[in-house]
Structure 1
Amino acid sequence: MRTTWSRFAGAAFVSLTLAVACSGGDDGDTSGGGTAGVGDPCSGDECRRGLACSPGGVCQPAGTISFGSPCTISGECKQELQCVDGRCINAGEGQAGDACLADSDCVHGMRCGIVGFGAQCIPEGNTDLGGSCATPTSCFSGLTCVGGECQKTPAGGSSLGAAEFPGVTCAPISAGTVRAFFEVPGVSDPPGQAGDFFRLPFPNDLLFEDGKLNLKGFPTPGAALLGYDPVKIYVDALSESATGWGTYPAVIFRFSGHIDFDSFQFVEGGKKPVQWVDITPGDDFGRTSGLRWVANEAGGKYVCSDYFAVQRPQGSPMLPGHSYAVFLTTDGTDKSGNAIERAPQFEALLADAAPGDPVLASAHAKYAGFRSYLADQGIDPATILNATVITTEDVRAPMREVAEAVAAAPVPSASGWVRCDAGVQSPCPDAENDRGCQAEGGDFAEYHALIELPIFQTGEPPYLTSGGGIQTSVQRSESVCLSMTVPKGASMPTDGWPAVIFAHGTGGSFRSHVRDEVAGALAKATTPFVVIGIDQVQHGPRRGTSTESPNNLFFNFGNPAAARGNPIQGAADQLSLARFASALDLTAGDTGSDAVKVDPLRVVFFGHSQGATEGSLAVPYAPEFRAAVLSGNGASLKDSLLTKTEPVNIKAAVPLVLGDFSANLELVGGTNHPALTLLQQWIDPADPLNFAGLWRAPETDMVQKSVFQTYGLGDNFSTPVTLATYIQAGRLDLAKADSSANPPDPISGVDPQSGAVSGNLGSDTETLTLGARQYGPPGDSDGHFVVFDVPAANADMVRFLVAAAQGMTPSVGQ
């Protein structure tokens, strides 16, 4: 019988065993040669190799097996080794929370495990071979959980484990006429060919019933891998709250047999067999979009064979609150060149008269806009093979309403001001080590305070398993640590200092700007700046009593409410800080030192990573900000989930979490996967993708501003596809790349300029700049940090903000 055991509790015994073992044997292994496992009773040599019989009479890991020798668990290997694929090999350097792909990436005593949707080093479990397990993380390093038991990793598998999901039941491929499936749940006349969920084109307005989204039958992988079903929690969340579809889906059409993919390309006369058109009454009616599409004869565990997936171009989301039709024409044929059969239920929706079946009659009404479009364009309904109608939710509404609530609230106040120096106590509750006051430098003085910010998230932080959802009214207030740097080499201007609101990345702190590349560079600029920063959401005391890594708390995909609520709360913080800074006018009595005033007409924003995400949502709604620099700012959750490897390895984990992966452990269908469509839909209200377009097309009463995005080659945090997606969505012009970017990445549809970008956007009152520039990181740095690590990027940031604060037209590059 296998039991669980804590290696750490037996540390003293393990050390004694190692000391004895070093004196004997060719490889120092004097452990047992029997078959008993960890925790099994013993009196002599009953324990298997790598284990030893403890004074208490049970088998325990001895840590005696040498490099290259067979093993079962990592505890049997020497301290510098890990057991991977049944052999002791060199352990990695990954500590708790570091990104990983396998146990070999982590130090001895850790294993690579899935936390949320990411793979990271975590303390190994304590269950031996054959012991019961709920998830792979229950097992010792070297094992995974298979069928509820800790077992050796199957050949070709991953020690991370995988959702034990058999997949949906699929009907045999049609041997005769191929039909384009369109089967509406609950319709009996005309009868359909009921089957898998995606026999109705997806997404589809027909899945909304009485204002509620009905996703009954959407495939989910179960709870075996994580202890909860990672797709069902999003199915449930959307079913409860969605009022429309997301803006960036992959549309799926299913067929009963193989189709000729080439027949769906452009045909004679410029006809387009695949189209995506806006059918919203008004100026946008009839506006079409570019497309990308694929066909898959094999299918996967969620979608059966012979599906056709369509997406809009990269960085081109649908507009919030609009209705669209995505349709295929009868120019497309089956694999043999024969006509594809239309589904009777679909034909009924294109007829003028409503069908008699009440469910289908309701569906007929929802396709009225599409019929109007066909009539307006003179298109014969008989030439339409299949179609879906998609109405998008107003995904910007939560952020817009939060911004209105911030604007209506009192201007935040700060208290407990101190001017930092060696030995000065910060008012922050955990001001130790790097979070505390430091000896004052030569370029700027640093002040600490506590700022009272309005909180819109429900529940109690850190919202690990519940709470964290956004309400559009203030739920409570929170005292948040604040650091402000003030230039020392210049006198405060009469109207006050220009100010930068700096929002740090995940893992940073309220003092992250207190460095030469931010506060130092901005204090010494031709127009010196005050810089203000706070602990971002899920950092420092904002986690409550939790010591969990901010990586797991901010990107908390195990709790949908917090996954979406965290970035929106972070955006609300930036709006509050903009108002705070604009009104800041401190006397010497307030600070205990010098008077500090901010010029309300010269407030700008600088965000990095998590902070840039928050700024992307907030800055369009903040009239106080004149300009923004966004560093490491990606867009499109679904692309991030398939490419992000830092600070945790989400790319490796997602295919396993969803339980639908190829032989090389990649997600079947990639960004066309329907589970990613749901995840993207849920995050849409907090995805920079849906706010980038506001730079050129602002909402009513918005104040336009200049924006500069840095793009670091080889960014593993905000990956190149997500950086490019934001540039495309915001229609940012691309300046000539810095010489460090050699060669620069190509970005589809965005041609780089021959020099700097400046003055490419005119507003009612001034000429503005919307631009991006590429940089290559130093050899020992990730591209995520180019704004700090590449001198040209750092200089571009300073120059851009200085020009904006001076009322000049900023330049990206020079």
Structure 2
Amino acid sequence: MTAPETGGTGGVGNTGGTGGAGGSGGTGGVPAGHGVGESCTDTDPCRPGLACNSGVCEPGGETPEGSPCVIAGECQDGLQCVAGVCAPAGSGGEGSDCQSDGDCETGLRCDLVGFAAQCVPQGNVDAGGECSASRDCFAGLACISGQCAPVPPGAPPFGLPASPNIECDEPSEGSVRAYFEVPGANPAGQEKDFFRLPFPNDARLKSGKPDLTGFPTPGVSLLPFDPVQVYIDEVEKEDGWGANPVVTFRFSGPVDFESFREPTDHSVRPVRWVDVTPGDPSYGAQAGLRWYYSEGGGKYVCRDWFAIRRSASSPLEPGHTYAVFLTTDGRAKNGTQIERAEHLQAMLSATAPSDSVLAAAHAAYAPFRDYLTGENIDPGSVLNASVITVGDTRAPMEQLAAAVEAAPVPTSQGWVKCADGVESPCPDHTGDRACGSGDAAYDEYHALVSLPIFQQGDAPYLASGGAIQTSGPVRNEDVCMALTVPKGATMPSGRWPLVVFAHGTGGSFRSHVRPEVAGALAAAATPGGNVPVAVLGIDQVSHGPRRNGSTESPNNLFFNFANPAAARGNPMQGAADQIALGRFAASLDLTAAQTGGDAIKIDPTAIAFFGHSQGSTEGSLGVPYSHVYRAAVFSGNGAILRDALISKRKPVNIAGAIPLVLGDYDSQFQLPGGTNHPVMNLLQQFIEPADPINYGVLIGRKPISGVTPKHLFVTYGLGDTYSPNATIANYILASQVDLAAHDASVATPDDLGLMEQAVPLSLTDVVDSTDLTLGARQYMPPAGTDGHFVVFDVAAANADAVRFLGMAVSGSVPQIGQ
């Protein structure tokens, strides 16, 4: 990957610039002469590339391609100033992803928007002028140390990122030690970098909450806040640790990674992760692991570090305690035995240390010591260990779902039957948000539905607000809604079956009004015949009027990692929407006078959910708690945030900007350690209550007490750059569904670690006396399209989804594939 360097061309005649380059001497690689906005004469000229108009220096717009430049406005029309040379401008409009100023069209530049690099309007500050961000400067310049200046060679267009200042020792010669140093203990250990104590670790809990004192942060540089400290502050408010951690160990020197591999005969097990929750049926249970080792360090963790994570199929259970440990079977790279730290030995001793700090850590390790005793494992065989107690990661969503159920059933108003000339009741009803002109397969109705809002503060929560209040709604909001009703069919048993459709980021309440959704479901083809199904959709969180007058892209508002409260609150509010809509739909009984068309009644026993992308994320959190939905189809549904942050490039290129935001990147501008990086672990810890990984198993395999299990179908499009395939695989594994044989469009399927089952796939499970189909299937997108949209773009995928939903709402056990 190349460094994200984007920005827009300055254009000709950008007057009103400030902060010239400093007169005839020139500064910082800027040619001699006056800068933009400064006075000029024939004898006291502007710098090359600028024009003296009416005694004031302005961008000249005459420098040809390939010639030196300072700002884009010096270049001829259609050119940008990239790396100090006029070069062709890109086609990226405002909000488009970028990697250099050359990706953006004239008048725009590349800068950070939250945790992503996008084309934004260029500023009007010239070289040498004061700035707070690179967007204050003309394209071609970056804000460096508070001043607009030419972009240094090899640097991104938005400036030089700051990095943490950690103290690392040179690797030890001879013997190698496994670090375990409890901060503040007496006698002190070899305390230096944060990760000399395995992390996460119950030894870092104070009153049950994480104490992250000393966790490295980059400070304020490219963003107007410390992007790591804001998450540290939030994580320290949580109880316990997350359900999907990466556990990091450090060594004083190189180790032999092969010696930590488990042999095929399982004669030794150098890396273990075991449930040590006293009295729980899962006591002693283990799961598949992956581990990683790096001799190289980075800006957050020193060299010689070892990271361990569980399979995505096995998120940790809330409230459980786990021990993650290495055994002395592991060896140093030189073949010698690795030294055990004194503080670790104190943790494993039957006698508590006299020092209060060590004694507190010793108490946290009691479940591990008891496990070793019960299993007759010699404590001396433990090379290093961490003990982790998982917080109740699902509690916020459980409380939110309960609050939705306790609130009044949503009401609606302003119903109209769409036709040419009919005005929608939605506040923003122009363009593709306007009433449709009609379709042969269905009628379209618009209305406003009053939904409970649980996010605190003022939408759209770009810089502040957005946290979820689980005690009850903060307010109600009238949200745009569209309902399609099949034509040429009668309501089965006097009531319509219904699918609630939740659109992806950038969509609208009318996103289902298309042939592949409303059209196909109006006469859903099933083995038992066509089933007429109504479809309902709303503006999802951060869309349409829900932006509260903001013109900011929904991409930036929903994926708002610059504001932790919104990053977690947005998908949770979306989940609340889907639960509330299910309740609304189940009670929908309208007369013709109310609708302005026909009477509409919905069958409360025949409602299913269909989510795409953002809508799938929301549905995967909310559907498990709903008492209404019979089934769900999830398209483009990823899980485990840290995996997405490393590889997600659409609708915003988060992956490209993360290493620069954190100030930690290798020669290829990649984040050292990738998904194992400590900050990725930190962000994952915070997002857990809103991560689909923790809810997949609740839909069907292990439903919540008192909630009926549901059918589930997950589509997997190869080459998905919006929800990277690794994240979709994570959700498939976590939800424990079967894998249907791949579609004929796929030449070589991705290896998901599951055995494919013949199609049609149906009745995969019986849970709580309910016959279920729980499955996933792979599809290849047509050439030139993204795998994110296979449910719409691949005929077989669309037919599979429609058939699945049609069978589910008609009371049949649905099938996947034919």
Is the Cα contact below 8 Å between 2:481 and 2:539 reproduced in 1? yes
Match among 175, 195, 199 for residue 202 of structure 1:
199
Is the Cα contact below 8 Å between 2:15 and 2:58 reproduced in 1? no
User: What amino acid does structure 1 have at the position aligned with 2:226?
Assistant: D
Is the Cα contact below 8 Å between 1:100 and 1:648 reproduced in 2? no
C-alpha deviation, 1:166, in angstroms: 5.0
Q: Does 1:304 align with 2:308?
A: no
Q: Deviations over 1:406-437 (max 9, x none)?
A: 11221111011111112112111121222122
Equivalent residue number for residue 260 of structure 1: 256
Mapped to 1, the partners of 2:473 and 2:583 lie a distance apart of 16
C-alpha distance 12-137 of structure 1, shift in aligned 2 (>3 A)? closer
DSSP-derived class of the 2:111 partner: strand
Q: Deviations over 1:269-313 (max 9, x none)?
A: 621111111111211111112211122122110001111111112
C-alpha deviation, 1:778, in angstroms: 2.0
Is the Cα contact below 8 Å between 1:67 and 1:81 reproduced in 2? yes
Moved more, 448-457 or 173-182: 173-182
Mapped to 2, the partners of 1:70 and 1:559 lie a distance apart of 39
Match among 724, 745, 754 for residue 750 of structure 1:
754
User: What amino acid does structure 1 have at the position aligned with 2:743?
Assistant: D
C-alpha deviation, 1:118, in angstroms: 1.2
User: What amino acid does structure 2 have at the position aligned with 1:771?
Assistant: G
C-alpha deviation, 1:754, in angstroms: 3.9
Mapped to 2, the partners of 1:99 and 1:248 lie a distance apart of 30
Instruction: Give ranges in structure 1 of 5+ residues lacking alignment.
Output: 1-5, 15-31
Equivalent residue number for residue 25 of structure 1: none
Equivalent residue number for residue 493 of structure 1: 492
C-alpha distance 70-455 of structure 1, shift in aligned 2 (>3 A)? same
Q: Does 1:229 align with 2:233?
A: no
DSSP-derived class of the 2:630 partner: strand
Aligned residues: 789
Equivalent residue number for residue 242 of structure 1: 238
Match among 75, 78, 84 for residue 77 of structure 1:
75
> 1:417-428 maps to which residues of 2 (within 5 A)?
417-428=415-426
Match among 692, 717, 738 for residue 712 of structure 1:
717
Equivalent residue number for residue 51 of structure 2: 52
> 1:451-530 maps to which residues of 2 (within 5 A)?
451-472=449-470, 473-525=472-524, 526-530=530-534
C-alpha deviation, 1:664, in angstroms: 0.5
Mapped to 2, the partners of 1:236 and 1:8 lie a distance apart of 43
DSSP-derived class of the 2:776 partner: strand
C-alpha distance 37-682 of structure 1, shift in aligned 2 (>3 A)? same
Mapped to 2, the partners of 1:701 and 1:774 lie a distance apart of 33
Match among 615, 620, 624 for residue 616 of structure 1:
620
Match among 592, 595, 612 for residue 596 of structure 2:
592
Mapped to 1, the partners of 2:783 and 2:678 lie a distance apart of 38
Q: Deviations over 1:470-505 (max 9, x none)?
A: 111221111111111111121222340000100011
DSSP-derived class of the 1:480 partner: strand
C-alpha deviation, 1:34, in angstroms: 5.7
Is the Cα contact below 8 Å between 2:210 and 2:241 reproduced in 1? no
Equivalent residue number for residue 375 of structure 2: 377
C-alpha deviation, 1:9, in angstroms: 11
DSSP-derived class of the 1:263 partner: helix
Equivalent residue number for residue 330 of structure 2: 332
Mapped to 1, the partners of 2:203 and 2:31 lie a distance apart of 65
Mapped to 2, the partners of 1:160 and 1:800 lie a distance apart of 48
Instruction: Give ranges in structure 2 of 5+ residues lacking alignment.
Output: 1-8, 18-29, 525-529
Equivalent residue number for residue 23 of structure 2: none
User: What amino acid does structure 1 have at the position aligned with 2:520?
Assistant: A
Mapped to 2, the partners of 1:777 and 1:41 lie a distance apart of 58
C-alpha distance 33-244 of structure 1, shift in aligned 2 (>3 A)? closer
Q: Deviations over 1:604-643 (max 9, x none)?
A: 0001110000000011111210111111111111011111
Q: Deviations over 1:101-158 (max 9, x none)?
A: 2222111111122111111111122222333333333322222233333333333332
Mapped to 2, the partners of 1:52 and 1:715 lie a distance apart of 48
Mapped to 2, the partners of 1:179 and 1:766 lie a distance apart of 55
C-alpha deviation, 1:210, in angstroms: 1.8
Is the Cα contact below 8 Å between 1:99 and 1:649 reproduced in 2? yes
User: What amino acid does structure 2 have at the position aligned with 1:216?
Assistant: T
C-alpha deviation, 1:531, in angstroms: 0.7
Match among 583, 586, 591 for residue 587 of structure 2:
583
Mapped to 2, the partners of 1:264 and 1:131 lie a distance apart of 55
Root-mean-square deviation over aligned CA pairs: 2.0
C-alpha distance 760-269 of structure 1, shift in aligned 2 (>3 A)? closer
Mapped to 1, the partners of 2:603 and 2:256 lie a distance apart of 64
Is the Cα contact below 8 Å between 1:167 and 1:300 reproduced in 2? no
Equivalent residue number for residue 776 of structure 1: 780
C-alpha deviation, 1:100, in angstroms: 1.8
Match among 661, 667, 670 for residue 663 of structure 1:
667
C-alpha deviation, 1:12, in angstroms: 8.8
Is the Cα contact below 8 Å between 1:134 and 1:225 reproduced in 2? no
Mapped to 2, the partners of 1:294 and 1:13 lie a distance apart of 54
Is the Cα contact below 8 Å between 2:503 and 2:614 reproduced in 1? yes
Q: Does 1:149 align with 2:147?
A: yes
Match among 680, 693, 696 for residue 692 of structure 1:
696
C-alpha distance 13-701 of structure 1, shift in aligned 2 (>3 A)? closer
Moved more, 450-459 or 336-345: 336-345
Match among 209, 213, 230 for residue 212 of structure 1:
209
DSSP-derived class of the 1:245 partner: coil
DSSP-derived class of the 1:407 partner: helix
Equivalent residue number for residue 21 of structure 1: none
Moved more, 665-674 or 515-524: 515-524
- Name the % identity: 56
Q: TM-score, with normalisation over the residues of structure 1?
A: 0.94
Q: Does 1:193 align with 2:198?
A: no
Match among 275, 278, 286 for residue 278 of structure 1:
275
C-alpha deviation, 1:739, in angstroms: 2.2
Equivalent residue number for residue 251 of structure 1: 247
Equivalent residue number for residue 3 of structure 1: none
C-alpha deviation, 1:33, in angstroms: 8.8
> 1:309-320 maps to which residues of 2 (within 5 A)?
309-320=307-318
Match among 74, 97, 100 for residue 98 of structure 2:
100
C-alpha deviation, 1:68, in angstroms: 2.2
Is the Cα contact below 8 Å between 2:256 and 2:335 reproduced in 1? yes
Match among 726, 731, 740 for residue 736 of structure 2:
731
Match among 546, 565, 570 for residue 566 of structure 1:
570
C-alpha deviation, 1:370, in angstroms: 0.3
Match among 323, 345, 351 for residue 343 of structure 2:
345
Is the Cα contact below 8 Å between 1:732 and 1:772 reproduced in 2? yes
C-alpha deviation, 1:594, in angstroms: 0.6
4+ residue runs over 4 A deviation: 6-14
Is the Cα contact below 8 Å between 1:634 and 1:725 reproduced in 2? yes
> 1:289-300 maps to which residues of 2 (within 5 A)?
289-300=287-298
DSSP-derived class of the 1:561 partner: helix
User: What amino acid does structure 1 have at the position aligned with 2:474?
Assistant: Q
DSSP-derived class of the 1:700 partner: coil
Is the Cα contact below 8 Å between 1:34 and 1:46 reproduced in 2? no
Is the Cα contact below 8 Å between 1:134 and 1:145 reproduced in 2? yes
Moved more, 307-316 or 284-293: 307-316
Mapped to 2, the partners of 1:639 and 1:125 lie a distance apart of 34
Q: Deviations over 1:48-87 (max 9, x none)?
A: 33221122x2222122222222222222222222221222
Is the Cα contact below 8 Å between 1:90 and 1:104 reproduced in 2? yes
DSSP-derived class of the 2:714 partner: strand
Mapped to 1, the partners of 2:77 and 2:730 lie a distance apart of 44
Mapped to 2, the partners of 1:740 and 1:111 lie a distance apart of 40
Mapped to 1, the partners of 2:10 and 2:736 lie a distance apart of 55
Q: TM-score, with normalisation over the residues of structure 2?
A: 0.94
Match among 409, 412, 421 for residue 411 of structure 1:
409
